[in-house]
């Protein structure tokens, strides 16, 4: 349980970091979903409250990576995303007008 708490705290810290490189590291949530899906599903609302902010990030590399990772997360977590689906859809809908072709494509 202590390892899980430390892992989650590190994830939250990375997703909320000031530097875009750290936020990108936090976006790599995909590994956590693959390795510990139960940990993610148990804490899904807290995790995705921070993750959605990366979908709306001001740095286009972070935003694009978050959208790409989200596509893979959806395939892994499927129905477990139900509690955060509205939050995710709202975040995604703010991106189609992006002028950056990578973000738009993601």
Q: What is the pLDDT of residue 31?
A: 86
Q: What is the pLDDT of residue 105?
A: 63
CA distances from 65 to 1, 71, 79 (A): 29, 10, 22
Q: Is 81:88 a contact under the CB 8 Å cutoff?
A: yes
18 in helix, strand or coil?
A: coil
Per-residue pLDDT of the chain (106 residues; tens, 9 = 90+): 789 999 999 999 999 999 999 999 999 888 889 889 999 999 999 999 999 999 999 998 999 999 999 999 999 999 999 999 999 988 888 766 666 666 666 5
The position carrying tokens 């994830």 is 11
Q: What is the pTM of this model?
A: 0.85
Closest CA to 48 of 89, 90, 5, 88: 88
């Amino acid at each position: 349980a202590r390892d899980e708490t430390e892992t989650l705290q590190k994830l939250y810290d990375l997703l909320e970091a000031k530097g875009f490189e750290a936020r990108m590291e936090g976006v790599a949530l995909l590994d956590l979903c693959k390795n510990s899906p139960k940990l993610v599903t148990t804490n899904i609302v807290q995790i995705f409250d921070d993750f959605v902010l990366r979908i709306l990030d001001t740095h286009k590399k972070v935003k694009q990576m978050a959208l790409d990772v989200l596509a893979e997360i959806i395939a892994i977590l499927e129905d477990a995303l139900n509690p955060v689906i509205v939050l995710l859809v709202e975040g995604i809908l703010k991106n189609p007008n992006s002028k950056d072709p990578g973000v738009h494509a993601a």
